[in-house]
Amino acid sequence: MTSPTLNGVQTGRPAPAASSRRRRPRRGAFAANTAAAWAVALVFSFPLIWTFFTALKPANEVFGQDIEFIGSEILWSNFVDAWVEVSFGRLLANSLTVALISTALSLVVATLTAFAFSRLRFRGRDAVFLLFIITLTLPIEIAVIPLYLGFDAVGLVDTWTALILPGLFGAYGTFLLRQFMLQIPVELEEAAKIDGASTGRILVSVVIPLVRPALSVLAIFSFLGSWNNFLWPLIILNSREKWTLPIGLAGFSGQTGTQWELLMAGCVLTILPVVVVVAIAQKQLVAAIGAGAFGGR
């Protein structure tokens, strides 16, 4: 169908029927993408949904001959029992304290290290950075025994200092921020130097505001890593009053068996703070992806 004419001259605008036919494929593609997104979200969220409904079941219905999504009774009291059973309030306070301190210190260390590798020039910089990145390929289990022996030698076993320090010097945060800092134009720093700014002033006033999306991503990852850490706290902490949530949840498993309904209730309570953090920082995550926090040149 040709375009409508005005005094015998085509206006260049498509006819209504042709425009309508063009919109239909777009609407179909949008509907298909939306349905696919919901399907993927359902698949990934199904374990969490199953955990929640398992936490509401009676103990004798968690495992049975027939798999039932919802139990015969809805026992909200399981959450109260789980809270009391392992002193959940103390574990929650411990985990929040450790995670917040670890996150704050990790941001400081990673920012300074990334700035040195991306902006400062010194002999052997690239070789040191390569060795730094190689540590990403090493599993944490390799460092457990040397770390424990080192902290034991200085009397820091069973302390939060020994729990927090090893996580502050990971190469991932440094690599993430360095790749982002490499995208900042050098002209901005040169202009600041002409105005008399020192290196520290450039870092605080020029670099950090521009890498804020990447810092937000690193803060989320650091918080989640500390929040979910199980192996190192299990090894380095001996006192129950210093335990974090992952160790406390293991208390539902004993010699007489596992209290699965209480364990699932504890897992749900443990997940809630993480969901809140991710929901609050969702916009920062999107901004970081758009700004190139996961890339570099």
Contacts of 96 (CB under 8 A, 6+ apart): 273
- Does residue 68 lie in a domain region? no
> Which of 54, 74, 101 finishes a domain?
54
- Does residue 144 lie in a domain region? yes
| Residue-wise pLDDT tens digits, 261-294 | 888 888 899 988 888 888 887 777 776 666 554 4
- Does residue 72 lie in a domain region? no
Rounded alpha-carbon distances, angstroms, from residue 90 to 240, 246, 269:
10, 13, 13
State the total domains in the chain. 2
Kindly state whether residues 160 and 252 are assigned to the same domain: yes
Mean pLDDT of 13-35: 67
CA distance 149 to 197: 44
- 21 is in which domain, residue-wise? 15-54
Kindly state whether residues 129 and 183 are assigned to the same domain: yes
Kindly state whether residues 155 and 225 are assigned to the same domain: yes
Kindly state whether residues 199 and 127 are assigned to the same domain: yes
Kindly state whether residues 153 and 42 are assigned to the same domain: no
| H-run or E-run covering 259 | none
CA distance 227 to 244: 8
Q: Burial code of 219-228, b = ≥16 C-beta within 10 A, e = fewer?
A: bbbbbebbbe
Mean pLDDT of 165-183: 87
Contacts of 251 (CB under 8 A, 6+ apart): 85, 86
Residue 190's domain is classified under what CATH number?
1.10.3720.10
CA distance 100 to 121: 32
Mean pLDDT of 183-199: 86
Kindly state whether residues 26 and 101 are assigned to the same domain: no
Q: What pLDDT is stored for residue 56 in this prediction?
A: 87
- Does residue 5 lie in a domain region? no
- Does residue 251 lie in a domain region? yes
Kindly state whether residues 45 and 91 are assigned to the same domain: no
Kindly state whether residues 195 and 113 are assigned to the same domain: yes
DSSP secondary structure code for residue 14 in this structure:
P
Kindly state whether residues 50 and 92 are assigned to the same domain: no
* 138-141, long-range: CB < 8 A, 24+ apart: 140/231, 140/232, 141/231
Q: Burial code of 269-282, b = ≥16 C-beta within 10 A, e = fewer?
A: bbeebeeebeeebe
Q: What pLDDT is stored for residue 233 in this prediction?
A: 92
Q: Please give the structure tokens belonging to residue 128.
A: 């040191």
Q: What pLDDT is stored for residue 295 in this prediction?
A: 47
- Does residue 232 lie in a domain region? yes
| Residue-wise pLDDT tens digits, 92-105 | 999 999 999 999 99
Examine the pLDDT at 227 and tell me if it is beyond 70: yes
Tell which residue, 268, 257, 262, 198, has the closest CA to residue 59: 262
Examine the pLDDT at 109 and tell me if it is beyond 90: yes
CA distance 294 to 218: 11
Rounded alpha-carbon distances, angstroms, from residue 131 to 51, 167, 175, 256:
41, 18, 12, 48
Kindly state whether residues 28 and 142 are assigned to the same domain: no
How is 90-125 classified by DSSP, letter by letter?
HHHHHHHHHHHHHHHHHHHHHHHHHHHHHT---TTH
Q: What pLDDT is stored for residue 69 in this prediction?
A: 76
Tell me what the pLDDT averaged over the chain comes to.
Answer: 82
| Residue-wise pLDDT tens digits, 29-88 | 888 888 898 999 889 888 888 888 888 888 887 776 667 778 778 888 889 988 988 888
Q: What pLDDT is stored for residue 18 in this prediction?
A: 52
Kindly state whether residues 47 and 186 are assigned to the same domain: no
Examine the pLDDT at 120 and tell me if it is beyond 50: yes
Kindly state whether residues 37 and 140 are assigned to the same domain: no
